[in-house]
Structure formats: structure tokens, C-alpha cells
């Protein structure tokens, strides 16, 4: 009888321990997935931010002191002039950063991710990163004025919020030299949700678990815009 | 037997849980490492920028270095404490093609590796006329700009600029003493389309002795008070002449002296009046008018070929007054819109409007440049509240524009114009380059 009791208790304890191990393994797997996702997202974000910061800081290199370095701007796009090869005898380069449409990454589970493109001199776009947010705000010196570029709802006007009032300017008349400071917000998320299979009908729901990382450069000012 | 099994069981569990914890911690560390890497590369970059700023400061204090034809180490510093602990930078200065170049290179020890960053700043040498459209030597506090005043071209104030409303500076403005009130507060709604800079060192203004550059090469000296009216002969270039009459504001009475101011090999176009002079008319050619007293601008003074619409025009007017330059708004004159295409310098006086009485309001347009030792005071103001209310009580709004021909590469000047000896050439930042770090994952 005692031997049977020993065996039963041993099985019970062993079973409990086995359940603990399986549960611990499951939790560890979950955490590893989340952490791995976080790490990948952070790597993607930091690699993109380093390139963007570096290139935006050189915005206007080689541009004449009285000329505008910013060619055009939107809240999700920026086109500027810079001498990328630092060769004054060659024409200035036109550098464009812009957010692509959602359709470019329609096959991923994440319904908000898009490609952030970089294009030089109107050539073939280079996809710099997959991001879920890329927004820019523009300011005059010392952030005295907030400069709102045209957007899809207001394509024909720049709005400048000045201390003395609001100024509405058509694109042809807007003096782009006023742009001195850029605030950039960028968010990167996993293209695929954790624990969501491709055939899961709820995979595109925003509540799905995506690793996410947000970066905001609140006062990016190229020295070439301040000469 | 049971005891051994228990020990093996505990050790086994310990190993399993330990391994799991190790893996999780490793992932956590790598995730944190990303943020740490970003911090480290930012610190390294900031160190290089700090080195560049230190180098700029040294250059600012040591103009003797500016002309160096070989690479010179301005400073090198190593940090053992603070944000840059483990870092160092070297700032060098030397020639680089057509430019001078300051290079700051930083080395920052982080995470067992050394991060390198570089900042390069390119300079060119300029004198003030190259860039400035308006230079006010007045060091006081009440040079006032109001809504509807506007300026195209760079501006420097040795004093403080008082703002009421929203005047527009289309190019950069530098101020030695700053704004009154500070930008963005109170009545100051100033619009600086190409930025502004305060706390800039005062620029020494032309001295009377600088006229030695102009007046010794004069073609003719007129003694006493005179009135000059300029005329354009339509069938030739640089063949304008003037009628000179004795006395101020005298453009019709008496017998005029006909004077051709541009005769190749004979007259360069430099006239000195030892007294006061009134001027007006259309100038075909290049002329510098100097006066030991005041120069009264009696009516529009323009070039035969408009340099604003025709930048290839070679007509240019220089006005150099030891005393004041005055917009001649005397009693009975109803002219409210003025246009002067001239580069004007007052060596001891101000630019002002005469007889600011009555209630007239007009516009003073200048295409050229203005350098004044004292005030630039052509209006009287009233009111103190902000917003859109105009504050001009009487006088002129300012519409000023620098003559683009004064700037490189053309650097056109009125003949023998006093580029002041006591204004040192300055180094101007042409370009600023910072290295782009390629992510290392």
C-alpha cells in the first residue's frame, strides 16, 4: 500500500512539475518572441533614423546661401537639395524622402506598414524602411512659426501660424527658406503580428500584438539652413 | 535512492530554468543594446559637433589664423568625465580648394569599440558690402520697424531692433543686442524668412577717415551748398550729365553748370561737395557723390537702366555723407512715394526724413544698400498694442532691397566707394557637412 502511495504521489508531483516546465517553456517562448520582435523593430527603426538624421543634417550642402534648400515638403514627404558627392563642379542633387502607399505592403499582416522611399535626382526609389508612421512638422527659426505644408485635404495652400496671425500662401509664393527646423516622427512595427496565423480572420485587427517602436526628433536643424 | 533522485530533479529544473532565463535576458540585453547604441552614436556625433563649435570659437577670436595656407590644429581635447567621457576631438583649419575648411574629428570609446565622427565646415572670405543690404551702427534701443516695413537683403543692427507688428525681413538679420521685445512676445511679430541671429558682435562702421578712399580720387570739388539734377541722354551709355545749381533745393533758378561725370580717361565719376547738396534725377553711368555736410534727396534718384529689372545694368549711384542723408520732405512737397536706387553711407549722421509734420504717410523704396552710423529714422510711430494695427503716424514705410550686383561674383561698386578699412573681412560659413553613419547590424 505504501509503495502504491509513493508511486501515486510521485506521479502527482512529477505531473505538477511537468506542467510547470511546460508552462515555463511556453511563457519563455512568448517572451522570447516579444523581445525578439521588439529587438527587430528597434533595429529597423534605429538603422532608418541614423540614415535620415545624417542626411537631413546635410540638407542644403552646396546650396547658395540665399537660396532655399527645401524644394517641396508635405507632412509625409520632403524634397531638398544637397551636394551628395561634395563636388562643386557637379550639379546639386535632389533628394526625396516620401512615404509610399499602403498597397506596397498589402501582403503583410500589419495593415499600417508602408515603405519609406529615398530617391535621388528622380531616379529609381530605394526603400529605406518599412514604417507605420512617418510624419514631419516644419518650423521657422526658434520654432516661432509653425509651417503647415499642403496636404490631400488642402493641396493648394501653405499655412503659416505666426505670432501675429495666420498666413495662407499658395505654393508658388511660399518662401521655403523659412523652413529651419523639422520635427520628425517615425514608428516601426512588425510586419506580422505575434500569434496570428496568416489564415486568421482577425489578423489585421489593430489590437493584434505588434512590436512597436516610436522615434521623434523634435528639433532637427540642418546648419546649412542657418547660414 | 529517493534523495539522489530529488537532487537530480532539482539540478535538472535549475538548469532548465537557468537556460530559459539566460536566453530571455540575452534578448532583453540586445533590445536595450539598440537604444544604447543609438545613444552612443548620438554622443559621438555631438562630440564632433562640439569640436566644430570650439574650433569656430577659436577662429572667431583669432583672425590671424584665417589666412593659413596649411593645415593647422586649432585644438585637441580629451574628456575623462561627463557626457563625453572616453572621447576626444581634434579641430583643424586649413585650405580646401576655393574655400577654407574647419574639420572636427571625434573619437568616442563606447561599448568596447571606438566611434568616429567628422564635421566639416567650409568658409569663404567676405567684406560687409558683399552680404549686407542694411547696416545700422546705431547702438541704442529704439530703431523701430513696424508692419508693412520690408527688407530684401541681409541686415545687421549694432543695437536693438524694436518691433511693432510684423515687418518682413526676407533675408537673414543679425542683431548685436537682440529684439525688443523678444521675438514672438508682446508686439513682436517679426517675420524673418531666412532666419535671424542675436548676440552677434558689433560691426565697426565706416569712419570719416574712410572717405580718404573716396575724396582723394574726386574729379571735382563743389564748394558751398548745391543742387544737382541728373539727366539721361537716351542715345548712349554712360553719357549722363547733371545740372548743378548753387544753393539748396534750387533746380530751376539761376544759370546751371552742365557737368558730364563719366569721361573715359578723365573723369571717374566722383564728386565732392564741401557743404550740403540736394540731388535728384536719372543717372546714366556710375557716380559717387560725397558731401562734408548733409545730402538731401530731393526727389526720385534712379538709374537710367533699372538694375532691379536689368541686373546687367552698369549704372550705379553712391552717396557718401559725413553728415545726414535726408529724404527731403519739406513743406509744400506732397510726394509720398519715393524711389532711390543708390548705395548710401552716412559716416557720422543718420538717414532721416525732413519735417515729419502733418499726417502724411508714404513709402520710401531703396534699391541699393544703406549703411548708417546713427539712426534710420524716417517715420514717427504711435500706439503700443500688438496685432494688425498700423503704427505709422507720419512718415514712410520702408521697402528696402539690396542691389544684387554688389554681391559676388560681380561685386559692383560706385566709383572709389569707401569700402571701409576698419571693417575687417569676415569668414562666412558656406557649407556645413556631417558624416552619415551607416547602421552596423
In chain B, where the domains are located? 2-127+428-434, 128-423
- Whether A185 shows a pLDDT value over 90: the answer reads yes
Grid coordinates belonging to A188: 516601426
- In this prediction, what percent of chain A has a pLDDT beyond 90? 47
Size of interface A-B (CB pairs under 8 A): 123
Q: Give the pLDDT score at B104.
A: 96
End-to-end CA distance of chain A: 94
A195 confidence band (pLDDT: 50, 70, 90): low
Mutate to test the interface with A, among B1, B17, B27, B50 (most CBs of A within 10 A): B27
Q: What is the pLDDT of residue B143?
A: 80
Q: Which residue has the higher pLDDT, A97 or B410?
A: A97
B302 contacts B339 by C-beta, under 8 angstroms: yes
Query: Which of the pair, B342 or B65, is modelled with greater confidence?
Result: B342
Is residue B422 pLDDT above 70, yes or no?
Answer: no
> Of the candidates A173, A143, A147, A164, which has an alpha carbon nearest to the alpha carbon of residue B166?
A164
Which comes out higher in pLDDT, residue B313 or B425? B313
Q: How far apart are CA B295 and CA B368, in angstroms?
A: 16
Give the Cα separation of B32 and B29 in Å (integer): 5
Grid cell in block for residue B218: 574726386
Residue among A24, A50, A144 minimizing CB distance to B41: A50
CB–CB of A162 and B191 under 8 A?
A: yes
Query: Which of A29-33, B22-26, B283-287, B422-426 shows the lowest per-residue confidence on average (mean pLDDT)?
Result: B422-426
**In this model, does residue B332 exceed pLDDT 70?**
no
**Per-residue pLDDT at A200:** 64
Q: Choose among B259, B257, B247: nearest CA to B218.
A: B259
Strand partners, B399: B150, B365
pLDDT at B304 over 50: yes
A117 pLDDT exceeds 90?
Answer: yes
CA distance B170 to B400: 10
Q: What is the pLDDT of residue B386?
A: 47
- Tell me the shortest Cα–Cα distance from B122 to chain A, in angstroms: 10
Query: What is the reported pLDDT for B9?
Result: 74
**How much of chain B, in percent, has pLDDT values that exceed 70?**
91
- B261 vs A198, more confident: B261
Half-sphere exposure of A35 (CA within 13 A, CB side): 18
The pLDDT value given to residue A139? 93
ipTM at complex level? 0.82
Q: pLDDT confidence of B2, banded at 50, 70, 90?
A: low
pLDDT at B280 over 90: yes
Query: How much is the average pLDDT of B76-103?
Result: 91
Strongest mean pLDDT among B57-66, B217-226, B259-268? B217-226
CA atoms within 13 Å, Cβ hemisphere of B235: 0
Q: Do B38 and A50 touch (CB under 8 A)?
A: yes
Cβ–Cβ of A163/B188 closer than 8 Å? yes
Q: How confident is the model at residue A160 (pLDDT cuts 50, 70, 90)?
A: very high
Average pLDDT taken over every residue of chain A? 87
CB-nearest to B184 from A21, A88, A144 is: A144
Select from A163, A190, A219 the residue whose CB has the most chain B CBs within 10 Å, as the one to mutate to test that interface.
A163
Dihedral (CA of B247, B250, B255, B257) sign: positive
Contact across the interface for A165 and B388, Cβ inside 8 Å: yes
Q: Are A109 and A160 in contact (CB under 8 A)?
A: no
Three-state SS annotation for B134-197: EEECCCCCCEEEECCCEEECEEEECCEEEEEECCEECCCEEECCEEECCCCCCCECCEECCCEE
Distance from CA of B420 to the nearest CA of A (A): 24
Instruction: State yes or no: pLDDT of B331 exceeds 70.
Output: no
What CA–CA distance (Å, rounded) separates B416 from B268?
8
* Amino acid B383: pLDDT: 60
**Of A28, A35, A66, Cβ closest to residue B171:** A66
In which element (H, E) is residue B59 found?
helix B2-61
Report residue B151's pLDDT band, with 50, 70 and 90 as the boundaries.
Answer: very high
Q: Using pLDDT thresholds of 50, 70 and 90, give the confidence band for residue B311.
A: very high
pLDDT at A197: 60
- List all residues of chain B from 133 to 192 with a beta carbon under 8 Å from chain A: 147, 165-166, 170-172, 183-185, 188-189, 191-192
Cα–Cα nearest to B319, from B275, B272, B261, B282: B272
Q: What is the mean pLDDT of chain B?
A: 86
Residue B423 has pLDDT above 60, yes or no: no
Contact B183 A142 (CB under 8 A): yes
Question: What would the pLDDT profile of B126-135 be if each residue is shown by its tens digit?
Answer: 766 677 788 8
pLDDT value at B388 more than 50: no
Looking at A190-194, B54-58, B217-221, B340-344, which range is the least confident one? A190-194
B64 has pLDDT over 70? yes
A contacts of B439 (beta carbons < 8 Å): 43, 46-47, 50-51
B421 has a pLDDT exceeding 70: no
User: What's the pLDDT score for residue B405?
Assistant: 92
pLDDT band at B342 (very low <50, low <70, confident <90, very high): very high
Answer whether residue B389 shows pLDDT above 80: no
Nearest CA in chain B to A87: B97
Q: Which of B27-41, B265-279, B404-418 has the highest mean predicted lDDT (pLDDT)?
A: B265-279
Nearest to A86 among B184, B195, B433 (CB): B433
Q: Residue B370: which H helix or E strand, with range?
A: strand B361-372
Q: Which of A162, A89, A14, A226 is nearest to B147 (CA)?
A: A162
The lowest-confidence range among B140-149, B160-169, B308-317 is: B140-149
Least confident of A57-71, A118-132, B395-409, B427-441: B427-441
- Where are chain A's structural domains? 10-225
- Residue A188's closest CA among A136, A134, A107? A134
Q: Can you give the pLDDT at residue A99?
A: 95
Report the residue of B28, B31, B185, B198 to disrupt the A interface, i.e. the one with the largest count of A CBs within 10 Å: B31
* Record: contact A164-B388, CB cut-off 8 A: yes
**Nearest by CB: B184 against A42, A163, A223:** A163
Q: pTM of the full predicted structure?
A: 0.82
Across the interface, do A177 and B441 touch by the CB < 8 Å criterion? no
User: A69-73, A126-130, B219-223, B434-438: lowest mean pLDDT where?
Assistant: B434-438
- Residues of chain A with pLDDT > 70, as a percent, come to 93
Q: What is the mean pLDDT of residues A189-216?
A: 73
Amino acid at each position: 500500500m505504501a509503495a502504491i502511495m509513493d508511486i501515486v504521489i510521485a506521479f502527482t508531483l512529477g505531473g505538477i512539475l511537468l506542467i510547470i516546465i511546460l508552462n515555463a517553456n511556453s511563457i519563455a517562448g512568448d517572451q522570447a518572441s516579444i523581445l525578439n520582435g521588439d529587438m527587430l523593430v528597434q533595429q529597423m527603426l534605429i538603422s532608418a533614423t541614423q540614415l535620415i538624421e545624417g542626411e537631413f543634417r546635410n540638407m542644403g550642402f552646396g546650396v547658395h546661401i540665399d537660396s532655399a534648400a527645401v524644394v517641396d515638403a508635405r507632412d509625409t514627404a520632403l524634397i531638398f537639395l544637397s551636394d551628395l558627392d561634395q563636388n562643386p563642379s557637379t550639379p546639386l542633387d535632389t533628394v526625396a524622402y516620401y512615404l509610399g502607399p499602403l498597397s506596397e505592403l498589402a501582403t503583410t499582416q500589419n495593415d499600417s506598414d508602408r515603405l519609406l522611399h529615398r530617391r535621388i535626382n528622380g531616379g529609381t526609389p530605394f526603400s529605406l524602411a518599412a514604417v507605420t508612421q512617418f510624419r514631419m512638422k516644419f518650423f521657422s527659426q526658434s520654432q516661432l512659426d509653425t509651417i503647415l505644408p499642403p496636404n490631400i485635404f488642402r493641396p493648394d495652400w501653405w499655412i503659416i501660424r505666426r505670432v501675429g496671425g495666420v498666413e495662407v500662401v499658395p505654393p508658388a509664393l511660399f518662401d521655403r527658406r523659412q523652413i529651419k527646423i523639422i520635427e520628425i516622427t517615425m514608428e516601426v512595427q512588425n510586419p506580422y503580428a505575434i500569434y496570428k496565423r496568416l489564415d486568421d480572420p482577425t489578423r489585421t485587427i489593430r489590437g493584434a500584438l505588434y512590436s512597436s517602436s516610436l522615434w521623434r526628433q523634435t528639433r532637427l536643424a540642418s546648419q546649412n539652413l542657418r547660414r | 535512492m529517493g534523495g539522489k533522485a530529488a537532487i537530480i530533479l532539482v539540478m535538472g529544473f535549475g538548469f532548465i530554468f537557468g537556460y530559459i532565463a539566460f536566453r530571455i535576458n540575452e534578448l532583453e540585453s540586445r533590445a536595450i543594446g539598440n537604444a544604447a547604441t543609438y545613444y552612443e552614436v548620438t554622443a559621438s556625433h555631438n562630440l564632433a559637433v562640439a569640436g566644430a563649435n570650439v574650433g569656430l570659437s577659436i577662429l572667431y577670436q583669432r583672425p590671424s589664423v584665417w589666412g593659413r595656407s596649411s593645415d593647422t590644429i586649432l585644438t585637441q581635447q580629451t574628456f575623462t568625465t561627463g557626457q563625453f567621457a572616453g572621447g576626444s576631438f581634434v579641430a583643424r583649419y586649413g585650405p580646401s580648394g576655393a574655400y577654407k575648411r574647419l574639420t572636427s574629428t571625434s573619437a568616442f570609446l563606447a561599448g568596447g569599440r571606438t566611434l568616429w565622427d567628422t564635421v566639416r565646415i567650409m568658409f569663404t572670405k567676405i567684406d560687409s558690402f558683399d552680404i549686407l543690404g542694411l547696416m545700422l551702427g546705431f547702438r541704442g534701443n529704439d530703431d523701430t520697424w513696424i508692419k508693412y516695413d520690408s527688407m530684401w537683403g541681409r541686415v545687421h543692427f549694432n543695437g536693438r531692433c524694436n518691433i511693432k507688428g510684423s515687418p518682413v525681413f526676407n533675408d537673414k538679420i543679425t542683431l548685436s543686442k537682440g529684439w525688443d521685445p523678444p521675438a514672438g512676445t508682446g508686439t513682436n511679430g517679426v517675420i524673418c524668412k531666412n532666419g535671424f541671429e542675436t548676440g552677434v558682435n558689433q560691426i565697426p562702421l565706416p569712419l570719416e577717415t574712410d572717405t580718404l578712399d573716396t575724396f582723394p580720387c574726386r574729379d571735382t570739388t563743389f564748394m558751398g551748398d548745391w543742387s544737382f539734377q541728373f539727366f539721361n541722354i537716351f542715345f548712349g551709355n554712360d553719357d549722363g550729365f547733371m545740372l548743378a545749381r548753387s544753393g539748396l533745393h534750387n533746380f530751376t533758378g539761376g544759370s546751371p553748370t552742365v557737368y558730364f561725370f563719366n569721361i573715359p580717361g578723365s573723369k571717374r565719376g566722383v564728386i565732392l561737395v564741401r557743404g550740403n547738396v540736394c540731388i535728384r534725377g536719372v543717372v546714366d553711368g556710375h557716380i559717387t557723390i560725397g558731401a562734408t555736410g548733409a545730402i538731401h534727396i530731393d526727389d526720385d534718384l534712379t538709374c537710367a537702366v533699372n538694375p532691379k529689372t536689368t541686373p546687367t545694368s552698369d549704372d550705379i549711384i553712391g552717396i557718401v555723407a559725413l553728415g545726414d542723408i535726408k529724404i527731403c520732405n519739406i513743406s509744400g512737397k506732397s510726394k509720398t512715394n519715393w524711389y532711390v536706387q543708390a548705395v548710401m553711407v552716412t559716416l557720422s549722421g543718420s538717414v532721416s526724413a525732413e519735417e515729419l509734420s502733418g499726417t502724411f504717410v508714404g513709402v520710401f523704396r531703396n534699391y541699393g544698400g544703406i549703411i548708417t552710423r546713427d539712426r534710420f529714422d524716417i517715420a514717427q510711430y504711435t500706439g503700443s498694442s500688438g496685432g494688425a494695427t498700423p503704427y505709422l503716424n507720419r512718415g514712410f514705410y520702408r521697402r528696402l532691397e539690396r542691389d544684387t550686383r554688389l554681391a559676388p561674383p560681380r561685386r559692383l561698386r560706385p566709383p572709389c566707394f569707401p569700402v571701409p578699412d576698419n571693417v575687417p573681412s569676415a569668414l562666412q560659413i558656406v557649407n556645413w557637412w556631417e558624416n552619415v553613419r551607416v547602421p552596423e547590424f
